[in-house]
Amino acid sequence: MKDFKQVHAHILKLGTDARREGHLLTVCAISEWSSMDYACSIFRNISDPGVFEFNTMIRGYVKDTDTVEAILLYQEMHRKGVKPDNFTYPFLLKACSYLSAIKEGLQVHGHAYKFGFGSDLYVQNSLINLYGKCGEMQSCFKVFESMDQVNIASWSSLIGSHAKMGFWNESLRLFSEMNNEGLWRADKSTLVSVLSCCANLGSLDSGRSVHGFLLRNVSELNVIVQTSLIDMYVKCGSIEKGLFLFENMQRRNQLSYTVIISGLSVHGRAEEALKIFGDMLNEGLTPDEIVYVGVLSACSHGGLVDEGLKLFKKMRFEHQIVPTVEHYGCLVDLLARAGKIDEAVEFIKKMPKKPNDVIWRSLLSSCKVHEHLQTAETASEKLSELDPNNTSDSVLLSNTYAKAHRWEDLAKVRKSMADKGLSQIPGFSTVEVKRKLHKFVSQDKSHPKSNDIYEMIHQMEWQLKFEGYLPDLSQVLFDVDEEEKRDRLRAHSQKLAIAYALLYTSQESTIRVVKNLRMSRDCHTYTKLISKIFDRTIIVRDRNRFHHFKDGICSCKDYW
């Protein structure tokens, strides 16, 4: 910048013309070392700026993430009667998408159409991106379907938008459709979005196919793509593959370390997570607050209370990181999960930050496990103040009462839910068989192979008797007779998913189940024994962590 200013001074002494001013503005606003303050001083001294100069400034502000200024400059452009061109709108729409400014975006869309650029490919791609980032999926699709021609960027924006909004199945479907149209030259950003969908769905087979494409078509993967692959494998239950990729990275950054540490944490491999954290420090990388969330979570999942408390102090005093509410939440979870409920409560009282719903929910969940009813009721009251219409909190409290056989209190909670119009989100489990995800809910008989599945359930139970298995009827949180409790336990969604996988996958393959709720004690014991009886590795991802079952043993060591 210093050299640029010297050159600029010489040009001013020698005299300049409008064309040279435009070139100066471009260099100053868009280069890597750009200064928008200095670019603005050049711009304001141009006597009659045209569309090129306005576009350059809008682009520069967007690059500098000063998106409000970009939109204000567009307004000024109109006041001065400068007619925009097709280069104006892509960057302007990007500014609106950064701000999630859908109202302004709609107006810009109208202007683009009015000035005859509504069918411009780059404008349309920017509109897909805008509507997608603002969650306007219907408008996003409408623009895409109206296009005379589409390119990789069009598909990338559409797929990425669906991934961002959590429409993971739809995103994978679109990716498959793009592939069928012969557009397998997908850019890296598209593939990162697809890998994210595979990770969230637990769809390992789909993730492997994307990895295969990358190996065949991309000579060198950058750190972002490599980290996305690690994240996919870790979240799909293949922690060994994730570790292999991590260990073979030539260059790692903070995000790479964060992903693998968090991954090891949810797989219950706390000691390895702490070792890799030590490797990160030895490599000279300074940890940030996000890495420490993963490290403290690892201690929580591994029951490493003393180590967690030491690391919390190390974060504050050695690395000078001011704890966020997430860090305090990790400490509360660490103490409460270990049964130190009273210590967790005292810790919450001494927190300098106001505890959020996640902290109280974590405490309430541990109170259910350790049957600490009084604290559970306190946590529930706090949650009601923060979010009175959260169904899962009411269900958690009612389940705590049910476990303690306090049926009258349970009935009061259920009645309160009914009065508020709250309904419980049903538990479900998914299992991937031959690259297709099959979803089951408890007592489910809607699957085409339902008869075969229930016959398999019967066979499984018959063999479980020889292993001494007895259903844990205390896990049925309803005041019903024992026979009905057995029926409810028999057809839990997790058991249905495992039965289907045992029927339709090869003996050598690993069964991978994804649940939306925390695993029950009964399902945990059941799955341990099934892994031994059928000599299968079964990996279950519940709401909190992964469980690896093999030879009748679980990786969590019955601590979760």
Domain ranges in the chain? 438-554
Q: Categorize the per-residue pLDDT at 177 as very low, low, confident or very high, splitting at 50, 70 and 90.
A: confident
Q: Categorize the per-residue pLDDT at 482 as very low, low, confident or very high, splitting at 50, 70 and 90.
A: low
**pLDDT tens column, 74-110:** 999 999 999 999 999 999 999 999 999 999 999 999 9
Q: What are phi and psi of 433, to 5 degrees?
A: -130, 120
As to burial, measured by CB atoms within 10 angstroms (0-12 exposed, 13-18 middle, 19+ buried), residue 437 is middle
* Across 108-117, 191-200, 395-404, 463-472, least confident range: 395-404
Q: Categorize the per-residue pLDDT at 266 as very low, low, confident or very high, splitting at 50, 70 and 90.
A: very high
- For residue 185, how many other CB atoms are within 10 A of its CB? 10
Tokens representing residue 451 in the block: 């008869």
What is the rounded average pLDDT of the residues 313-324?
A: 94
Confidence check: pLDDT of 515 > 70: yes
Please give the pLDDT value at position 121: 94
Q: How far apart are the first and last CA of the chain?
A: 56
- Using left for φ > 0, alpha for ψ between -120 and 50, and beta otherwise, residue 294 falls in alpha
3-state DSSP helix/strand/coil percent for the chain, to nearest 5? 65, 5, 30
Please count the CA atoms within 13 angstroms of the CA of 361 that sit on its side-chain side. 16
Tokens representing residue 289 in the block: 């607050």
Please give the pLDDT value at position 336: 92
* Across 13-22, 160-169, 186-195, 549-558, least confident range: 13-22
Which of residues 392 and 212 earns the better pLDDT score?
Answer: 212
Percent share of the chain, pLDDT over 70: 95
Range ranked top by mean pLDDT from 28-32, 324-328, 353-357: 324-328
What is the rounded average pLDDT of the residues 502-521?
A: 91
* Across 58-67, 97-106, 467-476, 509-518, least confident range: 467-476
Confidence check: pLDDT of 475 > 60: no
**pLDDT tens column, 348-396:** 999 998 999 889 988 988 888 888 888 988 998 898 888 887 787 887 7
Answering whether pTM is above 0.85, one says: no
